[in-house]
Amino acid sequence: MAFEYENRKTESVEREEPELNDASTTTSDSESGSAIPPLLSESGDAAPAPGSNVETDVGLTGDSAEVLGRFARDCWLHPSSLLFSVWRAVRGVLVPILILLFIDHNSNLVIFIAGIAGLSILWGAIHYFTFRYRVVNGELITREGLLERVERNIPLQRIQDIRIEQGLLHRWLGMADVKVETAGGGGVEASLSVMRCADAELLRRAVFENPERAGVAGEPAADGSRAASEPTRLLRALSIRELVLAGITSNRMASVFVAVAAVGGAVQSALSRDFLEEHFSRAGRWLLSWIDSGGMGDWAILFLLVLAFLAVSLGVSVLGSIILFHQFRLSRSGEDLFRSYGLLTKRTTSLPRKRVQLIEIEETWLRRWFKLVAIKADTAGYQPEDNSGSAEGRDVVLPVLPRSELGDVLPEILPDVRDEVPDWRRVEPCAIRREILKGTAVILVVTAVTLVVRRDFFGFMPLLLLPWIAFFCVRAYQHLGYAVGERLFHTRRGWLNRSTHIVPIRNVQAIVLRQNPFDRRHGVVSLAVDTAGQAFTGGGPRIGNVDEAKARQLARELAASAAGKRFRW
Amino acid sequence: MAGADREPAGSGPGSEFPGGVESDLARGEAAGGIGPDREPGWQDLDPGVVGYWRVGQAIGAVMMLSLTGLGGVILSLKQRPLALWILAAWLLLAVFRTFWLIWYPPRSYAAWSYRLDGKVLETRSGIWFRVTRMLPLPRLQHVDIQRGPIERYLGLSSLTLYTAGTRAAMISIPGLGEAKAKELRDHLVAVGGDDGV
- Are A560 and B136 a contacting pair at CB < 8 A? yes
Query: Which amino acid is present at B65?
Result: L
User: Residue ranges of the alpha helices (H) in A186-296?
Assistant: 197-208, 240-248, 251-270, 273-293
**Residue A539 in contact with partner chain B when CB distance is under 8 A:** yes
A515 Cα to chain B: minimum distance (Å): 5
- Are B134 and A559 a contacting pair at CB < 8 A? yes
A520 contact residues in B (CB cutoff 8 A): 130
Within 433-462 of A, beta carbons closer than 8 Å to B belong to: none
Phi/psi at A213 (5° precision): -65, 130
Q: Identify the CA nearest to B122 among candidates B158, B155, B171.
A: B171
- Are B136 and A563 a contacting pair at CB < 8 A? yes
What pLDDT was estimated at residue A566?
80
Q: Of A513, A539, A562, which has the smallest distance from its Cβ to B132's Cβ?
A: A513
A568 contact residues in B (CB cutoff 8 A): 195-197
- Are B134 and A556 a contacting pair at CB < 8 A? yes
B138 contact residues in A (CB cutoff 8 A): 562-563, 566-567
Q: Which residue of B has its CA nearest to A548?
A: B35
What pLDDT was estimated at residue A477?
92
**Cis link prior to A194 (omega < 30° from 0)?**
yes
The mean pLDDT of A356-363, rounded to a whole number, is 88
Residue A496 has pLDDT above 80, yes or no: yes
The mean pLDDT of A52-61, rounded to a whole number, is 36
- Are B165 and A548 a contacting pair at CB < 8 A? no
**Burial group, residue A137, by CB count within 10 angstroms (0-12, 13-18, 19+):** exposed
- Are B166 and A514 a contacting pair at CB < 8 A? no
What pLDDT was estimated at residue A290?
57
What pLDDT was estimated at residue A116?
87
Helix or strand run (H / E) with residue A322: helix A298-325
The mean pLDDT of A445-452, rounded to a whole number, is 84
Q: Using beta carbons and an 8 Å cutoff, which residues of B are at the interface with A?
A: 34-35, 117-120, 122, 126, 128-139, 163-169, 171, 194-197
Residue B186 has pLDDT above 90, yes or no: no
A517 contact residues in B (CB cutoff 8 A): 128-129
Q: Are A128 and A82 in contact (CB under 8 A)?
A: yes
Q: Are A562 and B195 in contact (CB under 8 A)?
A: no
Q: Which residues contact B102 (CB under 8 A, 6 or more apart)?
A: B19, B54
Strand order through the sheet with A524-530? A542-547, A524-530, A510-515, B130-136, B120-125, B113-117
The mean pLDDT of B120-137, rounded to a whole number, is 92
Sorting pLDDT into bands at 50, 70 and 90, what band is A273? Answer: low
What pLDDT was estimated at residue A284?
64
Q: Of B35, B118, B166, which has the smallest distance from its Cβ to A560's Cβ?
A: B118
- Are B168 and A509 a contacting pair at CB < 8 A? yes
What pLDDT was estimated at residue A278?
65
Sorting pLDDT into bands at 50, 70 and 90, what band is A441? Answer: very high
Q: Identify the CA nearest to A261 among candidates A221, A306, A228, A227.
A: A306
According to DSSP, residue B9 is labeled -
The whole-angstrom separation of Cα B194 and Cα B197 is: 10
Residue A389 has pLDDT above 80, yes or no: no
Helix or strand run (H / E) with residue A95: helix A80-103
A569 contact residues in B (CB cutoff 8 A): 197
Write the ipTM.
0.77
The mean pLDDT of B134-156, rounded to a whole number, is 88
The mean pLDDT of A293-308, rounded to a whole number, is 68
Q: Which residues contact A483 (CB under 8 A, 6 or more apart)?
A: A422, A423, A424, A425, A489, A490, A491
User: Residue ranges of the alpha helices (H) in B112-177?
Assistant: 149-154
Cα first-last separation, chain A: 36
**Residue A533 in contact with partner chain B when CB distance is under 8 A:** yes
The whole-angstrom separation of Cα A513 and Cα B35 is: 11
What pLDDT was estimated at residue A115?
87
The mean pLDDT of B5-24, rounded to a whole number, is 39
| Secondary-structure breakdown of chain A: helix, strand, coil percentages, each rounded to the nearest 5 | 45, 20, 30
Residue A420 has pLDDT above 60, yes or no: yes
The whole-angstrom separation of Cα A338 and Cα A237 is: 12
Q: Which residues contact A42 (CB under 8 A, 6 or more apart)?
A: A58, A60, A61, A62
What pLDDT was estimated at residue B189?
82
**Residue A98 in contact with partner chain B when CB distance is under 8 A:** no
A155 Cα to chain B: minimum distance (Å): 13
DSSP string over A148-193: S-EEEEEEGGGEEEEEEEE-HHHHHHTEEEEEEEETT-SSEEEEEE
**Residue A517 in contact with partner chain B when CB distance is under 8 A:** yes
The mean pLDDT of A304-310, rounded to a whole number, is 83
Residue A11 has pLDDT above 50, yes or no: no
B167 contact residues in A (CB cutoff 8 A): 510, 512, 528, 530, 534, 539-540
DSSP string over A525-567: EEEEEE-SS-TTSS-S-EEEEEEHHHHHHHHHHHHHHHHTS--
Average pLDDT, chain B: 79
Average pLDDT, chain A: 75
Q: Which residue of B has its CA nearest to A160?
A: B197
pLDDT tens track for A515-561: 999 999 999 999 999 888 766 566 678 888 899 999 999 999 999 99
Residue A4 has pLDDT above 70, yes or no: no
B33 Cα to chain A: minimum distance (Å): 9
What pLDDT was estimated at residue B124?
93
B117 contact residues in A (CB cutoff 8 A): 556
Residue A254 has pLDDT above 90, yes or no: no
B196 contact residues in A (CB cutoff 8 A): 566, 568
What pLDDT was estimated at residue A281?
66
- Other CB atoms closer than 10 Å to residue A495's CB: what's the count? 17
What pLDDT was estimated at residue B83?
83
A484 Cα to chain B: minimum distance (Å): 17
Residue A294 has pLDDT above 70, yes or no: no
Least confident of A81-85, A90-94, A120-124, B176-180: A90-94
What pLDDT was estimated at residue B62?
94
**Residue A569 in contact with partner chain B when CB distance is under 8 A:** yes
- Are A563 and B138 a contacting pair at CB < 8 A? yes
The percentage of chain A sitting over the pLDDT mark of 90, rounded to a whole number, equals 14
A566 contact residues in B (CB cutoff 8 A): 138, 194-196
B135 contact residues in A (CB cutoff 8 A): 509-510, 559
Residue A487 has pLDDT above 50, yes or no: yes
Least confident of A101-115, B115-129, B162-176: A101-115
The whole-angstrom separation of Cα B44 and Cα B151 is: 17
**Residue A560 in contact with partner chain B when CB distance is under 8 A:** yes
- Are A568 and B195 a contacting pair at CB < 8 A? yes
- Are A567 and B163 a contacting pair at CB < 8 A? no
Residue B94 has pLDDT above 90, yes or no: yes
What pLDDT was estimated at residue B15?
37
A318 Cα to chain B: minimum distance (Å): 34
Q: Which of A104-118, A276-290, A387-401, B146-160 has the highest mean pLDDT?
A: B146-160
Least confident of A536-550, B34-48, B148-162: B34-48
Residue A12 has pLDDT above 60, yes or no: no
A528 contact residues in B (CB cutoff 8 A): 167
- Are A569 and B197 a contacting pair at CB < 8 A? yes
The percentage of chain B sitting over the pLDDT mark of 90, rounded to a whole number, equals 34
What pLDDT was estimated at residue A323?
85
Sorting pLDDT into bands at 50, 70 and 90, what band is B92? Answer: very high
Chain A, chain B: beta-carbon pairs less than 8 Å apart: 117
B190 Cα to chain A: minimum distance (Å): 14
Q: Which residue of A has its CA nearest to B133?
A: A512
Strand order through the sheet with B142-146? B142-146, B156-162, B170-177
According to DSSP, residue A225 is labeled P
pLDDT tens track for A166-196: 888 888 899 999 988 876 656 677 888 888 8
The whole-angstrom separation of Cα A554 and Cα A73 is: 55
The mean pLDDT of A107-122, rounded to a whole number, is 84
The whole-angstrom separation of Cα A518 and Cα A531 is: 27
What pLDDT was estimated at residue A274?
54
- Other CB atoms closer than 10 Å to residue B100's CB: what's the count? 13
- Indicate the SS3 state at residue A519: helix
**Residue A562 in contact with partner chain B when CB distance is under 8 A:** yes
Q: Identify the CA nearest to A538 among candidates A360, A338, A319, A409.
A: A360
- Are A528 and B164 a contacting pair at CB < 8 A? no
Q: Chain centroid to CA A136: how far? A: 33
Q: Which residue of A has its CA nearest to B128?
A: A517
Q: Are A512 and A499 in contact (CB under 8 A)?
A: no
What pLDDT was estimated at residue B29?
43
What pLDDT was estimated at residue A356?
85
Phi/psi at A224 (5° precision): 80, 5
The mean pLDDT of A200-210, rounded to a whole number, is 81
Q: Which residue of A has its CA nearest to B196?
A: A568
A377 Cα to chain B: minimum distance (Å): 15
Residue A400 has pLDDT above 80, yes or no: yes
Residue A463 has pLDDT above 80, yes or no: yes
Sorting pLDDT into bands at 50, 70 and 90, what band is A64? Answer: low
